[in-house]
Structure 1
Amino acid sequence: MRSHARERVLSRLLEQVRYEVLPTPSVVDEVYGHLPAGATVTVTASPAKGMEETLDIAERLSALGFDVVPHLAARMIHGNAHLAEITERLRLAHVTKVFIPAGDADPEPGCYRSALQVLEDLAVAGNPFDQVGITGYPESHPSINDDLTVQAMWDKRHHATHIVSNLTFDPDVLARWIDRVRARGVALPILIGLPGPVERLKLLRMATKIGVGESAKFLAKNGGLFARIAAPGGYDPLRFLGRAAETLGLPASNVAGLHLFTFNQVAETEAWRVAQLERIQDSGVRRRTARAAARSDA
């Protein structure tokens, strides 16, 4: 892929982003202070804090004018009546988008056990949300068989509007996964899950904030995540996207944008995004200037 074509793909992706945050007391101020007005912000659901924290932060961010996407983790929802309460609460807060994972919590008696169960009950309730996201797994899930993740995506496709990919640090794995999703006949738009550049110490502090038990599950799911995204020279988000750009830019891939895992390093994530866009735009200007100079010399 030529450099200018790659830059067009990267620029489009960096302009179509949403930011994932964790439900901590300071995160509303972080978002309000550092993200553009009206930015799309997804709020995770923490078993250590419960759904209430996610809903509270979603309401506060929506009141500030942000486009909010709360995570409705199935295993934290106590059946259909609880789901109806959540739905009404979000309606009153003018929240029209949700993301529905199964979640990492061990479901209590009466809770949903899968995202599909929540999706089916929302369909019976008349599909109250305009957009509904589901999870995709480019890498194998440590506790779910690959065949089950594939089947789950197929089963959920009629109830969802888009897929958010889980983390992978291998652009070839990501490209092959997109090809497999499309080969199976799943045509939903995909948002690429991508960690921005994060600082190791801040990442470790965040691990303590989300709870020891949840942190252990998080690390079990993501193996060497901390080391790989925080090690100097070990991970460069833009380089990762550039290596996958040929697939990401294909119309048939239907990649709609980026889902940025901020780990609540909101200011750093947004500064990185803006800097990359400026760098790409400057590169385009230099290339056009050089071509114009070459034509003039000719």
Structure 2
Amino acid sequence: MIATARRLARDGFPVMPHFPARLIADKVMLEDWIARYRGEAGVDRALLLAGGRSAPAGAFQSSMQMMETGLFDKYGFTRLHVAGHPEGNRDIDPDGSTANVDAAIRWKQQFAERSDAEMAIVTQFAFEARPVLDWIAGLREAGVHLPVHVGIAGPAKLQTLIRFAIACGVGSSLKVLQRRAVDVTKLMLPYEPADVLSDFARAASRDETPAIAQVHFFPLGGIRACAEWAARHVVSERGQIAAGGRPSPSAASGR
């Protein structure tokens, strides 16, 4: 991972490695990762996640515990992104509520207020705009004003997306894919995110979600396919997806 980060940085890309808390054994291991990314690859940003395993490998259960160590500040990490869960997360709230994820996002807002790091929320990928827009409105009412990078699944086979959606707990938006799967004429066609991006763009044009800072592509169908699709499309001011031009700012996450 460090070698890859070094190569990408050398090619001119800003690199944001993932730090999955439940895969990191202890503070010594975390500091080793941070120090090597900084010293060997020049990395100064990170995406902090709990990680997908049910039981932690060691000392860290959550991204908040990693942030509390102060190690990212010690090594000059100036940008920290944290996870957002518009549809909840069963790993964090097994009872199906959003109590723990809501408390966590409020804590992250408070951390941002006492930290010098530039912070943003990166959401899980979604196939439907409305649940995400409602979730962001709830954040603002709760006093959480971190900019939101909306997760979008890049073009991929429908079967691939359904498999990832089930594994990642994207419950409400999964219904969109299930409805599509019922239509035999669409079943074999690759999914493209034009419709959901248009919905977000129209909302942004009405100032409904001014804190949406970027689209964060999850290239579940492959990085090349996602990058080529993004390069062919742009979100117009009227909220339509138009062919040609440059893509709006995005961050691709290589899962």
TM-score, normalised to structure 2, is 0.73
Q: Deviations over 1:232-286 (max 9, x none)?
A: 3795412112223343342863111110000261121122112222962779xxx
Q: How has the CA–CA distance of structure 1 residues 78 and 259 changed in structure 2, closer, same or farther, with 3 Å as cutoff?
A: same
CA contact (8 A) 2:123 2:151 kept: yes
Write the distance in 2 (CA, Å) between the matches of 1:197 and 1:226: 17
From 177, 198, 202, the counterpart of 1:228: 177
**Equivalences for residues 217-256 of structure 1 within 5 A:** 219=167, 221-222=169-170, 228=177, 231=181, 232=186, 236-249=192-205, 250=207, 253-256=210-213
Deviations 1:58-90 (A, max 9, x none): 233223322111000111112211111111111
Q: Tell me, in whole angstroms, the C-alpha distance in 1 between the residues paired with 2:177 and 2:70.
A: 38
State the match for 1:263 in structure 2: 220
- Report the Cα offset of residue 199 of structure 1: 2.7
C-alpha distance in 2, partners of 1:173/1:234? Answer: 23
Gaps of 5+ in 2: 113-117, 236-240, 246-255
Alignment: residue pair count: 218
- Aligned-residue sequence identity (percent) comes to 25
Comparing both structures, which one devotes a greater share of its residues to strand? 2
Query: Of residues 23, 28, 43 in structure 2, which corresponds to 1:76?
Result: 23
Separation in structure 1 between the aligned mates of residue 35 and residue 244 of structure 2, nearest angstrom: 47
Alpha-carbon contact 1:133-1:164 (below 8 Å) kept = yes
Provide the alpha-carbon RMSD of the alignment: 3.2
Give the aligned partner of residue 133 of structure 1: 81
In structure 1, the gaps of 5 or more residues are: 1-53, 208-214, 284-298
**Which structure shows the higher helix fraction?**
1
Task: Name which structure has the greater RCO, CA cutoff 8 Å, separation 6+.
Answer: 1
**Structure 2 match to 1:21:** none
Which is higher, the Rg of structure 1 or of structure 2?
1
Structure 1-normalised TM-score?
0.64
**1:109-155 per-position Cα deviation (integer Å, ceiling 9, x unaligned):** x3311110001113685362111000111112123320100100111
Written as runs of structure 1 = structure 2, the 5 A alignment for 1:78-157 is 78-92=25-39, 93-105=41-53, 106-108=55-57, 110-122=58-70, 125-126=73-74, 128-145=76-93, 146-157=98-109
